[in-house]
Amino acid sequence: MTTIFSVLDVEKTYQVGLGPRAGLFKPRAPRLLKALNGVRLEVAEGDSIALVGESGSGKSTLVRLMLGLEAASDGRVLYRNADINSFDEQARRQFSRDVAFIYQDARGSMNPRMKIRDVLAEPLLLHGLCTESEADQRVLDLLAKVGLSADMAWRYPAELSGGQVRRVAVARALAAEPKVIIADESVAGLDVSVQAQLLNLLRKLCREMGLTLVFITHDLGVASYLCRRVAVMYLGRIVEEGSTEDILHQPRHPYTRGLMRAFPSFGRPLTASLKGEIPSPIDLPRGCRFASRCQDARDECRELDPVLTSDGQTRRVACLFPLTYSATVQEGGAQHVATGSPVAMAPAAVAR
Ligand SMILES: Nc1ncnc2c1ncn2[C@@H]1O[C@H](COP(=O)(O)OP(=O)(O)O)[C@@H](O)[C@H]1O
Ligand SMILES: [Mg+2]
C-alpha cells in the first residue's frame, strides 16, 4: 500500500508562562510544555486509523501538524513523500483539496451569518469545481449524500440540531472531493442514537469513496467501529499501535487496557482501572510517563523510558513489561486470557 502520511519523530513544544525563580537575581525561565514528544506514524492510502487517548494526550496537536496548520518543533511530516512545510503554491493547493478536515466544534467552524447553501458552495467555488449557476445543484447533491433534506440549504447553522450541523460539516469536507478526511472528535457530545447514525454515514462514505480516514476520538468503541487501525496516545506519545481487532482483543499496553476497562458496558460493573488524571506535560516524570498511573509499574518503569517497539508483526508497544496472553483451550474453542502479571518482552528503553 502507498504511504500517504509519514509523521517522522515529531516534537511540538509550547512555551507557557514562567517557571519558579532559581535565585534572587536569576530571571525566571520560560516553562516548556511538550505536547508531542517523538511521534512516529504512517498512514497508508485507503486505510482508516483512529487516534485514541484521554484529553490532553496530544491528538489535536498532532492533527494540526499533519494539516500544516502549525510547524513541528522538530521532526517532519510528509504527505506523499513531500515535506508539508516545503510545499510550493501548487502543491499547497492540491493538498488543501486532497485533505479535508472536520473540526471538533462543527457549529463554531461555520460562519453564523452564512446559509448552509453558501457554507457548502464556498469550497466548490474556491476550488473551481463548478460555476455559480451550477452551485445550487451541487449543494443539493451534497446534502443528499449526507442524508439531509434540500430545505436545509436555506437555513443558518444556528437553526440546525447538533446532528444536522455535523452532517453539514461532513458534506463540506466532501465538497472538494478529497482523498483523505481528518476528523477531530466529530461525534463527541451527541446523543447515542445520533452518534450511531453519523458513524454509519461516515463508514459508508469512506467505503464508497475509498477515502483515507484519520479519526480522533477519546472513545475506543467509536474507534473500533470506524477504523481498521488504532494508535493510542498518552502524554504526547503513541504508546500502542496496531490493528483494531488485535488491540481490542489483546491490548498490550496497560494504558490501552485501562481505557478499555473504563468504558461502561451494559450489565457489567464498572471497574475504574485508570487512577487519577493525565499529568501535566510541563514537568514530565523520569522513566515511563504512564508509571504513575500504572497498576503493574515496577521499579525499572520509574527509571527507564520505554521506546515504541515493533513486535515483529503489525503491533508497536511502548512498555517495558507489555501484557502477554496465553491461549487456554476451552469447550467451544480457544480463548485467550491475559496472564495476571505482565511478562517482560525484550525491553527497549532509554534512561532519561
Ligand atoms: N497552543 C498551545 N499552547 C500551549 N499548550 C498547548 C497548546 N495546544 C495544546 N497545548 C497543550 O498540549 C497538550 C496536548 O493538547 P491537545 O493536542 O489539545 O490534546 P488532545 O487533543 O488529545 O486533548 C495539552 O496539555 C494542551 O494543554
Ligand atoms: Mg483535542
What letter would DSSP give residue 240? Answer: E
- Residue 339: closest CA among 322, 321, 325, 319: 325
List Cβ neighbours of 239 (8 Å cut-off, separation of 6 or more).
232, 233, 253, 255, 256, 290, 308, 317, 318, 319
On whether the 1-16+31-108+176-249 domain is CATH 3.40.50.300, my answer is yes
Q: Other C-beta atoms within 10 Å of 103: how many?
A: 17
Of the candidates 175, 176, 160, the one whose C-alpha atom is nearest the C-alpha of residue 107 is: 160
Please list every protein residue whose CB sits less than 6 Å from any atom of ligand 1.
14, 16, 33, 35, 53, 55-61, 281
Q: What residues in the chain have per-residue pLDDT under 50?
A: 329-347
Residue 310: what pLDDT?
A: 93
Q: How far is the CA of 254 from the centre of ligand 1 (A)?
A: 23
Q: pLDDT tens digits for 221-241?
A: 889 989 999 999 999 999 999
The ranges assigned to domains in the chain are: 1-16+31-108+176-249, 251-274+285-352
Closest ligand to C-alpha of residue 53 is: 1
Atom of ligand 1 nearest to the CA of 63: 17
Q: What is the pLDDT of residue 345?
A: 43
- Cα-to-chain-centroid distance, residue 83: 21
Q: Which atom of ligand 1 is nearest to the CA of 33?
A: 5
Quick count: other Cβ atoms within 10 Å of Cβ 275? Answer: 10
pLDDT reported for residue 348:
54
Contacts for 160 with CB less than 8 Å, ≥ 6 apart: 107, 116, 152, 168
